[in-house]
Amino acid sequence: MTRAFCLAATLGVLFACVGTGCCIAQTLTGAVSSAAEGAMEGVLVSAQKDGSPITVTVVSDEHGHFHFPDGRLAPGHYALRIRAVGYELDRPQALDLGATPVEVAIRLRKTSDLAAQLTNTEWFMSMPGTAEQKRPLIECMSCHTFERIVRSAYNAETFVPVLKRMAQYANNTIVARVQPRIAAREVNDDSVRKLAAYLATIDLSSAPVWDYELQTLPRPKGRATRVVITEYDLPRKSIAPHDVRTDAHGNVWYSNFVENFLGELDPKSGANRDYPIPVLKPDFPAGTLDLEPDADGNLWLAMMFQTGLARFDMKTRTFRIFPIDSELNDDAMQQSMVMPRALDADGKVWTNDVARQAIMRLDLKTGKYQRIDPFKLLAKGHLHAPYGMAADAGNNLYVMDFGDENVVRIDAKSGATTIYPTPTPKSRPRRTMLDGSGRLWFTEFAADKLAMFDTKTESFKEWGVPTPHTYPYDVFADKNGELWSGGMASDRVLRLDPQSGRSVEYLLPRSTNIRRVFVDNSTDPVAFWAGNNHGAEILRIEPLD
Amino acid sequence: MRFDRVWSRAVLIVALALAVAGAARAGGVNFGDDNDSNADDGPSYFGFVREVGGPGIADAKVTAALKDGGALVTRTDIMGVYKIPGFGKDIDPDNVTISCAKDGYKQANVLRRPRDNADAKDPIEVECYLQKQ
């Protein structure tokens, strides 16, 4: 009986492995240590098989031990990588996995270039200067890290033309693909000179090394080490995944911020597929931003400087484009957001007109756009920026005023605007999602807070993030009521329980610029997904609790 | 009673001063500098939401509504104080209605303090009274 059971079990495993094409499951375990600390907790250990786009990362525990999940690494030759601020990998740099489990002792040495390891958050912590002086730098993160600034040798004068040049780049610009705007923007000369003068005090224009101490965040501990992170390299460095989400089959879809493609990733194989989006304005910056499904599961894209909206039919795998009316479509026209979720209510899809700080609404019957100024009741001369969007069942729109401090509701039928200032002034609400209970979850980018607006009671709640200078970009409320958030600064993903206030931050294996975040609620525990906008990769976080 | 009134106004002035201090605005192309102009600002609205004959009421909803549609909505703080930033200068304050609400209460009365010889931008004080249902 026992032998028969063993045989059946063995055959079962064998057939299961053949079925998934995974060969024999391997186990990689080991311990991390250094001369300075002995056994080290909170070291990220990453393994990438030669030729594979997939990297798997685990984190060492309080004894320095780590363990890759069974079956996750197939036999082959693997490159190893670590992340532990202040250290670099000494040995081994690579290993072979065969038919038997492998145990490895990983040895770290002190790094000679700490600056190369700092996150934007750590640079914020390190730089001298007032909050007012540092404030403009939160815009820089959209295109590049602070390392580029602090390693430069520009002085207060030579920085000026650099800043003025960058101001003319489209916001969908990354280092791998710089995209100038067609419509020039006015730049405030005094502001540029003030910023240039400050940057010259924190870079290497006057000394070969920084005259301030480099501050670092602590390594992960305890709960923050109980996680598996998978990175999927995309096939071109110029792919900038912005919004990421999974479909019912587990495939991952993403908007490409700097190329006219919709991307699809198979997380089992790591294979990537590009769906070319028709080019409407060939000389204008390429790429899309917001990626949202409608009620039928078809994907909508906001086409940025290509202008208009695109709908991707998930069955036919084809696009239908909804161009902006020619009389509205000038060189500054830009759509960053789209909200099609409740279009069944009235046949309308919401979007925005970034240049005019306005909302637009597409009528699917006529193909015409209606422009709505949600801030017309407020004083002119103030900066507003309609950004993250959500719609309720009646297709009433909730939009984040990223330029200021408001959540705005636009009634779908009457067009009446109700403006709700956030409790924290100048919070700059960014991306948002509406849950099934009518709660609008959003980030307060400039205030370092996650927030909730209850559309039923019309009241706010706010939660400060645990690490200052995080500048959260987006938040997702999962099926358990926990919040997941990421951004462009800290290389960390925040998981926060709004009931208890308990939180954990998962350090990521690489410098990671996160925009839209997504949680796949079909798994248990849930799985977090996001793109690395500057790193041409998609990443998945699987918490072990 | 007189002491209460003086104290209440002091609280309001401090709350207002703090609100104004936080009014620096960020802007992308101006590299974070304050590029806002308040030349077109209309008056803000502020005051207490109180229980009739009683104390201020915390977390009450306060709405500044326009006759032609559109509204600004906020909530009172722990003292029952609210401040609504206000509309543009094109909006006639006489067309703005302040109301308040909270579960378990009904609105009893709204008192708008007269603004004799006031500048058009001077904040408008409106007290809103709620009665338990």
Within a domain: residue A173? yes
Within a domain: residue A215? no
Tell whether A93 and A136 lie within a shared domain: no
For B34, nearest residue in chain A (alpha carbons): A191
Cβ-based contacts of B23 with chain A (< 8 Å)? 425-426
Tell whether A80 and A167 lie within a shared domain: no
End residue of a domain, out of A171, A202, A233: A202
pLDDT given at position A382: 86
Sign of CA dihedral A8, A11, A17, A18: negative
pLDDT given at position B34: 52
Rounded Cα distance, B9 and A9, in Å = 79
End residue of a domain, out of A67, A86, A112: A112
Contact A65, A225 (CB under 8 A): no
Tell whether A277 and A140 lie within a shared domain: no
Tell whether A357 and A426 lie within a shared domain: yes
**The domain spanning residue B100 has which CATH number?**
2.60.130.10
Within a domain: residue B25? no
Within a domain: residue A185? yes
Rounded Cα distance, A492 and A487, in Å = 8
End residue of a domain, out of A93, A112, A131: A112
Within a domain: residue B95? yes
The reply to whether residue A416 touches residue B61, judged by beta carbons under 8 angstroms, is no
Tell whether A242 and A357 lie within a shared domain: yes
Over chain A, what is the mean pLDDT? 94
Tell whether A77 and A174 lie within a shared domain: no
pTM: 0.91
pLDDT-derived band at A82 (thresholds 50, 70, 90) equals very high
Could you give the number of structural domains in chain A? Answer: 3
The reply to whether residue B26 touches residue A426, judged by beta carbons under 8 angstroms, is yes
pLDDT-derived band at B9 (thresholds 50, 70, 90) equals low
Provide mean pLDDT across the span A4-28.
46
Is pLDDT of B27 > 70? no
Between the alpha carbon of residue A395 and those of residues A244, A265, A323, A345, A348, the distances in Å are 23, 31, 21, 6, 8
Within a domain: residue B111? yes
Residue A486, SS3 per DSSP: strand
Tell whether A278 and A247 lie within a shared domain: yes
CA distance A537 to chain B (A): 27
Least reliable range by pLDDT among A280-284, A382-386, B50-54, B116-120: B116-120
- DSSP E strand boundaries for A189-265: 227-233, 241-246, 252-256, 261-265
Cβ-based contacts of B73 with chain A (< 8 Å)? 418-420, 458
Provide mean pLDDT across the span A111-131.
98
Which strands, in side-by-side order, build the sheet including A459-464? A429-434, A439-444, A449-454, A459-464
Within a domain: residue B33? no
From the list A527, A392, A506, the residue with the least C-alpha distance to A454 is A392
Could you give the number of structural domains in chain B? Answer: 1
Provide mean pLDDT across the span A100-117.
97
Is pLDDT of A312 > 90? yes
For B39, nearest residue in chain A (alpha carbons): A381
Burial (CB count within 10 angstroms: exposed 0-12, middle 13-18, buried 19+), residue A15: exposed
Tell whether A50 and A134 lie within a shared domain: no
Provide mean pLDDT across the span A117-129.
98
From the list A135, A445, A202, the residue with the least C-alpha distance to B34 is A135
Cβ-based contacts of B66 with chain A (< 8 Å)? 377
Q: What is the pLDDT of residues A64-75, one digit of tens each?
A: 999 999 989 999
Tell whether A477 and A514 lie within a shared domain: yes
A425 at the B interface (CB within 8 A)?
yes
Provide mean pLDDT across the span A33-56.
98
pLDDT given at position A19: 37
Within a domain: residue A212? no
**The domain spanning residue A226 has which CATH number?**
2.130.10.10
Specify the pairing of strand A338-339 against strand A348-353.
antiparallel
Rounded Cα distance, A413 and A152, in Å = 53
Token look-up 């400087």 returns A305
pLDDT given at position A380: 87
Burial (CB count within 10 angstroms: exposed 0-12, middle 13-18, buried 19+), residue A190: exposed
Cβ-based contacts of A378 with chain B (< 8 Å)? 85, 87-88
Is pLDDT of A327 > 60? yes
- Per DSSP, helices labelled H in A279-334 are none
Burial (CB count within 10 angstroms: exposed 0-12, middle 13-18, buried 19+), residue A129: middle
For A405, nearest residue in chain B (alpha carbons): B25
Whole domain around residue A139: which residue ranges? Answer: 115-202
pLDDT-derived band at A14 (thresholds 50, 70, 90) equals very low
Within a domain: residue A207? no
Provide mean pLDDT across the span A49-54.
97
pLDDT given at position B4: 52
pLDDT given at position A536: 98
pLDDT given at position A15: 36
pLDDT given at position B5: 53
pLDDT-derived band at A7 (thresholds 50, 70, 90) equals very low
For A379, nearest residue in chain B (alpha carbons): B88
The reply to whether residue B26 touches residue A381, judged by beta carbons under 8 angstroms, is no
Tell whether A226 and A292 lie within a shared domain: yes
Within a domain: residue A208? no
Provide mean pLDDT across the span A439-444.
98
Q: What is the pLDDT of residues A341-360, one digit of tens each?
A: 999 999 999 999 999 999 99
More confident residue, A382 or B126: B126
Within a domain: residue B15? no
pLDDT given at position B114: 87
Within a domain: residue B22? no
Within a domain: residue B17? no
pLDDT-derived band at B68 (thresholds 50, 70, 90) equals confident
Within a domain: residue B80? yes
Provide mean pLDDT across the span B85-109.
95
pLDDT-derived band at A11 (thresholds 50, 70, 90) equals very low
Specify the pairing of strand A517-520 against strand B71-75.
unpaired
Angle at B98 between CA B93 and CA B101, to 5 degrees: 170
The reply to whether residue A426 touches residue B23, judged by beta carbons under 8 angstroms, is yes
Token look-up 């067609």 returns A182
Whole domain around residue B45: which residue ranges? Answer: 39-132
Within a domain: residue A217? no
Residues 426-465 in A contacting B (C-alpha not used; CB under 8 Å): 426, 428, 446, 458-460
The reply to whether residue B72 touches residue A416, judged by beta carbons under 8 angstroms, is no
Respond yes or no on whether ipTM tops 0.90: no
Is pLDDT of A20 > 50? no
Q: Give the percent of chain A with pLDDT over 90.
A: 93
Least reliable range by pLDDT among A53-62, A343-352, B113-122: B113-122
pLDDT-derived band at A190 (thresholds 50, 70, 90) equals very high
Rounded Cα distance, A263 and A301, in Å = 12
pLDDT-derived band at B118 (thresholds 50, 70, 90) equals confident
Provide mean pLDDT across the span A501-517.
98
pLDDT given at position B36: 60
Within a domain: residue A314? yes
**The domain spanning residue A102 has which CATH number?**
2.60.40.10
